[in-house]
Chain A
Amino acid sequence: MIYRQLALTTALVALTTPALADQIRVLNWNGYGTDEDWAIAAFAEATGVTVVHDYFNSEQELLTKLRTNPGAYDVVMINSAFTPQAREEGLIQPVDTSALANFADLAPNMATNADLTHEGAVYGVPWTWGLTALAVNADAFDDLPTSMEVLWDPDLAGRISIRDDALEAVQLAALATGQDINAIEDMDAVVERLAALMPQITTFWSSENDWNQFLAAGDFVVGSYWSGSAERAMGMGLPVAFVVPEEGAIGWLDGLSVATGSGNVEAAHAFIDWMIDPDFYVRWAEAGAPASANAAAAASLPEDSFNRAVLGDPEVVARVQFMQPVSDEDRRVYLELWQDLKAQ
């Protein structure tokens, strides 16, 4: 309640105070990096620009706030799956990458991500990312698996789990059949692979808590999992190893954009550059952060940290396929085939 009031107050302050030359307004999830007190303080000290935040609770709310309050925001955090929609609606403007000293260090496949760029212009600066790939019980393997084929390993029948989610199941099978997860052409192959996967599965998981419990109880040894969750599971002392298979992995990517009508484009660029700077990221990562899109930032982490050791490898980054928006029609098709498979 207090948080909501605070958020409301900041929103009102953000909307009613006239845009000052030395102030920028940022729209993001609450508690997601940009509003770290120490970072804002350091930014204000370095540039003389104060940062004011407003928050959204869903991507729809984010788009609505941008539509209804033109000019109210300078920097917005948008998931790459929604960046094209924001761009088409004219809610964000191209970023001048020459103003970003750290832009050259960004992972190439993220900097040129098709959703964040349009006709050669950058509309979203890749900031953080994460994966859905495999996590295994490290005690159960002498050599960690490197391929998704481990899911279909007959020796592991009844010791596999994936999330009870149609989209994720279909995309995993698309990866296993060497397809583009955002443009699946051979649906029959996907269905066939999933049908063969079903007898391997002991149970589906639906939450991080589920996953950790099932693994600890020995219910499964290989499961699909999220990178951030795997990192937390390792932090809790579970014998978990996160595997990004050679076939690839499903990725999400968050970018920072400059809102249309921003009254302080220059400071907005400065703030984005501050956010993708290795110095900011290393300190943020100490408290637990997703992987950075900045290769130099990942390389500055301690050698044994998850985001460097597992996700920091450029080879790994290059294998990731980032998720694009999925049409309602595709969702319906995926759901129906998933239900049929589960009911067999």
Chain B
Amino acid sequence: MALARRDIVQIAGLISPAYLWLTAAVFLPLSAMLYFSFLSSAPFDGSAPVFSLEHYQAFLDRPLYRGLLWKSIQLGLVVTVICVLVGFPCAWVLAKMIRGRWREALFLLVILPFWTNSLVRVFSWAILLRGNGILERGLDAVLPFDVSLNLMFSYPAVVIGLVHSYLPYVILTTYLSLQALDDSLIEAARSLGARWGTILWRIILPLAAPGIIAGAVLVFVPVVGSVLEPRILGGRAAGTFYGTVIEDQFTAVFNWPLGAALSFILLAVVLACLALTAPMLRKAQT
């Protein structure tokens, strides 16, 4: 189908702002970083750039980086699974069980975290989770026995902070696909005697899969590279992940090429993960 000349002009006019922006804001800096990752040292002091693969080699040579990357992927999986388990029922209630103003109010609560600065969110968690913090004192006041609850500077604290930050993505994407789900399919299944478990497994989940997977991807990718939550909530025990080591290269030791190389390895791994889920997405859509 040949496009008319006017159509082409129209299309170009509509999409060029977005693509020009993406080129300037994403592609150019990323290219610079890719270039950096192949240098032996950052050419800030005016020395001539020397091409080198040493920083990619460093990833292979030092088990530290592989170990941390695996640790970060595990963290991503844990947070994603919790987000889906918590987010799916919430999305179901929003899509199917509540109508009108209550739904708006509940939606507002879901989106609320987006309106606050992420640093503020993380620091407010620090206040809550700390030993002798608000949570512990509150529980102490309500429960008859002594509660000792110091979650600060631990793995659970990092998971709690991350789930809180990324849960809305799962709820929103799952809600969209659940809302598109035709209620009569469920009624038909019930009238034919299917139990709720069967309906959930055979009808609802497959139809909601695109939304759930999209949400899971939106959570998994940033969590694997997360820096802020481990830094502030993780302490010594759970404060070092792949993302924090990358950050160190840029801010603490000024080894930009190594930081860039580690980032691109992360990008490659994340793309590989996405490639694995792509067939599932396609299957779910057909």
Q: Chain A interface (Cβ within 8 Å of chain B)?
A: 164-165, 198, 201-204, 217-219, 331, 335-336, 339-340, 342-343
Residues of chain B with a CB closer than 8 A to A201's CB: 235-236
A224 nearest CB across to chain B (Å)? 13
- B67 on interface, CB distance cutoff 8 Å: yes
Q: Contact: A219 with B236, CB < 8 Å? A: no
Q: How close is B265's CB to chain A, nearest CB, in angstroms?
A: 16
**Number of chain B residues close to chain A: CB under 8 A:** 19
Is there contact, CB below 8 Å, between B235 and A217? no
Are B130's CB and A219's CB within 8 A?
yes
A198 with B132, Cβ < 8 A, contacts A339-B245, A340-B64, A343-B67 known: no
Given contacts A203-B153, A335-B253, A343-B67, contact A218 B236 (CB under 8 A): no
State A202–B62 Cα separation when bound (angstroms). 26
CA distance A198 to B236 in the complex (A): 8
Q: Which of B153, B234, B252 contacts A219 (CB 8 A)?
A: B153
* A80 nearest CB across to chain B (Å): 23
Closest chain-A Cβ to B131's Cβ sits at a distance in Å of 7
From B41, which residue of chain A is reached at the shortest CB distance? A328
Name the A residues within 8 Å of B253 (CB-CB). Answer: 331, 335
* Interfacial chain A residues near B130, Cβ < 8 Å: 217, 219
**Is the pair B68, A343 in contact by a Cβ cutoff of 8 Å?**
yes
Residue on B nearest A335 in the bound complex, by CB: B253
Within 8 A of A (CB), among B146-176: 152-153
Residues of B within 8 A of A198 (CB): 236
B64, B67, B131: which contacts A218 (Cβ < 8 A)? B131
Instruction: Evaluate contact between A343 and B64: CB separation under 8 angstroms.
Output: yes
Contact with A along B54-73 (1 / 0, CB 8 A): 00000000101001100100
Q: Is B215 an interface residue (CB 8 A)?
A: no
Q: A218-B131, A339-B64, A343-B64 are in contact. Are A202 and B245 (CB under 8 A)?
A: no
Please report B residues at the A interface, Cβ cutoff 8 Å.
Answer: 62, 64, 67-68, 71, 130-132, 152-153, 234-236, 239-240, 245, 248, 252-253
Q: Is the CB of B64 within 8 A of A204?
A: no
Q: Which residue of B lies closest to A218 (CB)?
A: B132
Out of B62, B71, B239, which one reaches A203, CB within 8 Å? B239
B67 to A, closest residue via Cβ? A343
A202, A339, A343: the one contacting B235 at CB < 8 Å is A202
Q: Which residues of B contact A202 (CB under 8 A)?
A: 153, 235-236
* Bound-state Cα–Cα, A339 to B62, Å: 11
With A219-B153, A343-B67 as contacts: A203 and B235 at CB distance below 8 Å: yes
CA distance A343 to B71 in the complex (A): 10
Beta-carbon nearest neighbor of B123 in chain A:
A213
Chain A residues, Cβ within 8 Å of B68: 343
14 A–B contacts, CB within 8 A, in A order: A201-B236, A202-B235, A202-B236, A203-B153, A217-B132, A218-B132, A331-B253, A335-B253, A336-B64, A339-B245, A342-B239, A343-B67, A343-B68, A343-B71
Contacts of B235 in A (CB 8 A): 201-204
| A339: chain B residues within 8 A (beta carbon) | 64, 240, 245, 248
Q: A293–B156 Cα gap in the complex (Å)?
A: 48
Query: CB-nearest residue of chain B relative to A213?
Result: B126
- Shortest C-beta distance, B225 to chain A (Å), equals 16
Chain B's nearest CB lies how many Å from the CB of A67? 15
Given contacts A219-B152, A340-B64, contact A204 B239 (CB under 8 A): yes
Please give the distance in Å from B79's CB to the nearest CB on chain A. 19
Instruction: Give chain B nearest CB distance to A200 CB in angstroms.
Output: 9
Given contacts A203-B236, A204-B235, A335-B253, 13 further A-B contacts (CB under 8 A): A165-B252, A201-B236, A203-B234, A203-B235, A203-B239, A217-B132, A219-B152, A331-B253, A336-B62, A336-B64, A339-B248, A343-B240, A343-B245
- Most B CB contacts (10 A, CB to CB) among A198, A331, A340, A343 go to A343
For B239, list chain A residues within 8 Å (CB): 203-204, 342
* A339 to B131 Cα, complex, angstroms: 28
How many Å lie between the Cα of A340 and that of B63 in the bound state? 9
Alpha-carbon distance between A202 and B130 when the two chains are bound, in angstroms: 12
Chain B contacts for A218, CB-based, 8 A = 131-132
- Shortest A145–chain B CB gap in Å is 20
* Nearest residue, chain A, Cβ from B236: A201
Q: Contacts of A203 on B, CB cut-off 8 Å?
A: 153, 234-236, 239
